[in-house]
Amino acid sequence: MRASEAVSLKVGDIDAGRMVIRVEHGKGGKDRYVWRLARPEHWLFPGRDESRPMDVQVLHSACRSARAAAGLAKRVTVHTLRHSFATHLLGDGTDIRIIQVLLGHSNLSSTARYTRVSNGLIRRTESPLDRLKLEVVPPA
């Protein structure tokens, strides 16, 4: 989920029966569903004034604080979490087209930019050629 989408969520966007959250008017004006995270009263991430959502800059600041508290030198942003989500799904064997839908991408090429294939996954991938039963027959 994009940071700007997360801070604009309302309780009414939660479909508890299906365990999903409806993101309305996401990037490109598209609607999509993501998984449920909490049970607040109105906004999923309320601001100081509970009648309004949290400002997206507060989310970015919280991410910077968490990075510093974890002692990470590497640059980490809220968007990094989105990339990591996609990469872990791919590493766990989730079909790239499912990841495409979850990220709200129209084009698979956009999703491909979000995913990093781990070396372990590459090592575990068996070539279809390795499954061939070839018998070498010398010429007669």
* CA separation for the pair 14, 7 (Å, rounded): 14
116 membership: H or E segment, kind and range: none
Q: Which of 10, 22, 27, 67 is catalytic?
A: 27
133 is catalytic: no
48 is catalytic: no
Q: CB atoms < 10 A from the CB of 30, how many?
A: 12
67 is catalytic: no
Q: Which of 22, 36, 67, 82 is catalytic?
A: 82
105 is catalytic: yes
Q: CB atoms < 10 A from the CB of 2, how many?
A: 16
Q: Which of 18, 25, 79, 113 is catalytic?
A: 79
Residues with catalytic roles: 2, 27, 79, 82, 105, 114
